[in-house]
Amino acid sequence: MRRSETLVQWSLALVALFAIAALALIIIFIFKEGSPIIARLGIVEFIMGTKWSPSRGTFGILPMILGSFWVTLSALVIGVPIGLASAIFLAEMAPSGTSRILKFAIQLLAGIPSVVFGFIGLVILVPLIRQWLGGPGFSVLAAGIVLGIMILPTIVSVCYDVFKAVPQAYREGMIALGATRWQTIRMVVLPAARPGIIAAIILGMGRAVGETMAVIMVAGNATKIPVSLLEPVRTLTSNIALEMGYAVGEHREALFATGIVLFIIIAILNTLARVVARVEKV
Amino acid sequence: MAGSTSVQPFAELLADEYMDEAENMIINVQGGGSSAGARSALSGVAEIGMLSRKLQGDEKALIPTTIAYDAIAVVVHPSNPCQDLGIEEIRDIFAGNATDWSEVQGEARKIHPVAREEGSGTRGAFDEIIMGEVEVSPGAIVQDSNGAVREIVAGDPSAIGYISLGLVDKRVKAIAVQGVFPSIDTVADNTYKLVRPMILATRENPVKEADSFISFCLSEKAQSMLAQEGLIPVAAVQSGKAQPGE
């Protein structure tokens, strides 16, 4: 009995270690491939440089950093209100039958491959923007809308679980005081769920920053810093995916270096999410 | 064999045909780009390197065989009245100096240039022949395949892009460059300038198999297969007045 217990424990530890080893290997690899060029150009030159022209040896990724920032921000502006509203409706207001069907539908949304989102964006959204708002259609706005829809499942399902975790007694207490349902939600449920909502937003943000395929298809991928929502834009992930196929030498190193920057941004986001959640809980 | 992704689909087609004919032959076709193709042929990783541009620098140690030519067509939306642009005009558009169609040809409307990504063979040939030392504007839309460029130009009346001649269809309009429309004839007589060679390169003493595959690529059957795919056969060009791009 004791023996098999130890065996299970060790094998589970080994499997867990495997996941960590994979992460460590990935980190070592991208840093090994990408850091030489950062060292050569200087970190400031690399991340503050406004011009990306690999064939001329100019590697500045500020346009892509800002591109990722603007695209992610617009995705959040679109996705968070809709996601939060859906989660409130599903958790607090909808009859259980309706809620179950809608939850199922939102889970289905999560199962749609990103290339399909990108394709629909390309054939429907991009021409609509071009026709009604002007510009080439490929834009920060197009990418923001597509990503805003793509992060909905994450935001809805995390918020839904958080709302469900708010003790029923809180709500009953509010109703006993004569509060309406909306007052209960606004004054009790939402404040109680705040750390969870912030975590949901940051998870959605991570998804938006990391998404590649759909963004390549609708963002236009120009390497200029966008000055309006209607201008084409290139994100960090698109930069890697677009040019990886052919890149050799310095160009390839610069793409790995782009990966390092992306990795650091995502690490900061995740740490932030944890810190915020912890501070809020206390 | 390994190399240019522009040559790759045609090489795969020919390799399939060749493997059907010759018993016990296995040809492995991989992408990677022209430079990677030349390097792997030099280092011996691949027997044949595929390039969609001429050999440069130390790559000249390889022996190139041109198996076909590909014209790059400059395309616009079918509704665009523009018929013909000079090389300077195209350069101005892609450099971002001309931003409105009224500055070149046609009605007042913003130009949306669509380029290929850095490193692509099509982009390389376009930059070399059209842009010269001038840089492509960072504001240009970038797509990573001929098909994606065609899709954008087919949908946007203000767009201009460049794709392989073989991929031009009714949804886009190929315009004349310096008054010459792209076609097999204009490539053959060297009047159409936007042309790049499709090259198979080997080391000095290639293995027998590589040699016989390259001979197959130059055979009448292989050449007519390439012509069906929209490439310009070598014979058509050599019977013309001069070598393109020289």
pLDDT tens-digit map of A147-178:
999 999 999 999 999 999 999 999 999 989 99
Please state the rounded mean pLDDT for residues B97-110: 84
Judged by phi (left if over 0) then psi (alpha if -120 to 50, else beta), residue B224 lies in alpha
**Distance from B83 to chain A by nearest Cα, in Å?**
21
Please state the rounded mean pLDDT for residues B212-224: 89
Q: What is the pLDDT of residues A108-118, one digit of tens each?
A: 998 999 999 99
Q: Is there a contact between A221 and B143 if contact means CB atoms under 8 Å apart?
A: yes
Of A86, A123, A121, the C-alpha closest to A105 is A86
Helix or strand or coil: residue A230? coil
- Interface residue of A246, A251, A255, A258 to substitute, partner B, most B CBs within 10 Å: A246
Q: What is the pLDDT of residues A67-90, one digit of tens each?
A: 999 999 999 999 999 999 999 999
Q: Is the pLDDT of residue A246 over 80?
A: no
Q: What is the pLDDT of residues A42-52, one digit of tens each?
A: 999 999 999 99
Q: What is the pLDDT of residue A282?
A: 47
**Distance from B34 to chain A by nearest Cα, in Å?**
8
Q: What is the pLDDT of residue A150?
A: 95
Tokens 């042929």 identify what position? B41
**Other beta carbons within 10 Å of A219:** 31
**Distance from B238 to chain A by nearest Cα, in Å?**
31
Q: What is the dihedral of CA A96, A101, A104, A106, to 10 degrees?
A: -100
Q: What is the pLDDT of residue B153?
A: 93
Q: What is the pLDDT of residue A29?
A: 94
Query: Is residue B41 within 8 Å of residue B48, measured between CB atoms?
Result: yes
Of B222, B230, B234, B217, the C-alpha closest to B146 is B230
Contacts of A244 (CB under 8 A, 6+ apart): A252, A255
Please state the rounded mean pLDDT for residues B117-145: 87
Q: Is the pLDDT of residue B105 over 80?
A: no
Q: Is the pLDDT of residue B223 over 80?
A: yes
Q: What is the pLDDT of residue B167?
A: 84
Run of H or E residues at B173: strand B173-177
**Other beta carbons within 10 Å of B241:** 9
Q: What is the dihedral of CA A11, A14, A16, A18, to 10 degrees?
A: -140
Sketch out chain A's domains with CATH numbers. Answer: 52-281 (1.10.3720.10)
**Distance from A113 to chain B by nearest Cα, in Å?**
19
- How is residue A90 annotated by DSSP? I
The rounded distance, in Å, linking the Cα atoms of A38 and A45 is 8
Q: Is the pLDDT of residue A281 over 60?
A: no
Q: Is the pLDDT of residue A263 over 60?
A: yes
Q: What is the dihedral of CA A33, A36, A41, A43, to 10 degrees?
A: 80
Q: What is the pLDDT of residues A197-235, one digit of tens each?
A: 988 998 899 899 999 999 999 999 999 999 999 999 999
The rounded distance, in Å, linking the Cα atoms of B76 and B157 is 7
Size of chain B, expressed as the number of residues it contains: 246
Q: What is the pLDDT of residue B35?
A: 81
Work out the mean pLDDT of chain B and round it to a whole number. Answer: 86
Q: What is the pLDDT of residue B244?
A: 46
Architecture of domain B2-67+196-238: 3-Layer(aba) Sandwich (3.40)
Where residue B154 falls among pLDDT bands split at 50, 70, 90?
very high
The rounded distance, in Å, linking the Cα atoms of B90 and A15 is 58
Where residue B238 falls among pLDDT bands split at 50, 70, 90?
low
R_g of chain B computed on alpha carbons: 18
Q: Residue B119: which of A127, A231, A247 has the nearest Cβ?
A: A247
Q: How far is CA B56 from the centre of its chain?
A: 17
Q: What is the pLDDT of residue B246?
A: 39
Query: Is residue A180 within 8 Å of residue A81, measured between CB atoms?
Result: no
R_g of chain A computed on alpha carbons: 22
Q: Is there a contact between B135 and A53 if contact means CB atoms under 8 Å apart?
A: yes
**CATH of the domain spanning B71-188:** 3.40.190.10
Listed in order, the ranges of chain B carrying CATH 3.40.190.10 are 2-67+196-238, 71-188
The rounded distance, in Å, linking the Cα atoms of B186 and B240 is 9
B58-72 burial, b at 16+ Cβ within 10 Å, e below that, comes to ebeebebbbbbbbbb
**CB of B140 less than 8 A from some CB of A:** yes
**CB of B143 less than 8 A from some CB of A:** yes
Judged by phi (left if over 0) then psi (alpha if -120 to 50, else beta), residue B2 lies in beta
Please state the rounded mean pLDDT for residues B5-27: 85
Measured between beta carbons, the chain B residues lying within 8 angstroms of A67 are none
Q: Is the pLDDT of residue B242 over 60?
A: no
The rounded distance, in Å, linking the Cα atoms of B86 and B193 is 11
B167-191 burial, b at 16+ Cβ within 10 Å, e below that, comes to bbeeebbbbbbeebbbebebbbbbb
The rounded distance, in Å, linking the Cα atoms of B118 and B232 is 25
Helix B208-218 vs helix B220-228: crossing angle, to nearest 10: 60
Angle at A115 between CA A109 and CA A119, to 5 degrees: 95
**Other beta carbons within 10 Å of A71:** 32
Q: Residue A222: which of B33, B135, B142 has the nearest Cβ?
A: B142
ipTM: 0.79
Q: Is the pLDDT of residue B245 over 50?
A: no
The rounded distance, in Å, linking the Cα atoms of A177 and A160 is 25
Q: What is the pLDDT of residues B157-168, one digit of tens each?
A: 999 999 988 888
Q: Would you call B245 exposed, middle or buried from its count of C-beta atoms within 10 A (0-12, 13-18, 19+)? A: middle
Q: Is the pLDDT of residue A251 over 70?
A: yes
